[in-house]
Amino acid sequence: MEQSYSQITSLISKIHSLASDFLRSLLEQENLPQFVSSHGNILFQLSQKDKMTMTELAQKINRDKSTTTVLVRKLCRSGFVTRKQSPTDKRIVFISLSPTGREYTKSTAMISKQLNNTCYTGFSDKEKEDVYNLLTKIADNFSNAL
């Protein structure tokens, strides 16, 4: 039994890889652009809030500010987000969804539902809650170790 416990990070990595492949397949079926998961996470975060600073966005997606800047630049070039300087402080740049980005996030809501349904097939509500709580605990353990 101890051996299966020691393979949890490998299993999480495998699930991440399989879920990414599944997501890519769904995006392809819908003729939607295939972004890396961080791009999708940025679009999702911006769909939850009208605008965010680069610092806020970096914190939400758990990336450093320079990496977030590179990701946002690609989304800007692709027409999914806009950058706008703060009228009161020129050092602050606000990022928000463009009309194209808003349409994309509407389209991906259905895909997200399919992803979750596939993930939780055969799970009771209690099992879903337990898995979420246990994985959150693992994530917190790694966050606290950094």
Q: To the nearest 10°, report the CA torsion of 21, 58, 129, 6.
A: 70
Against a cut of 0.85, is the pTM above it?
no
CATH 3.40.50.10800 for domain 27-145: no
Rounded Cα–Cα distance for residues 102 and 80 (Å) = 8
Angle at 23 between CA 115 and CA 83, to 5 degrees: 105
Average pLDDT estimate for 76-99: 93
At residue 63, the pLDDT reads: 93
Domain residue spans in the chain? Answer: 27-145
Rounded Cα–Cα distance for residues 125 and 145 (Å) = 30
User: Cα dist. 27→22, 33, 86, 131 in Å?
Assistant: 9, 7, 34, 26
Q: Which residue has the tokens 């990414």?
A: 20
Higher-confidence position of 27 and 17: 17
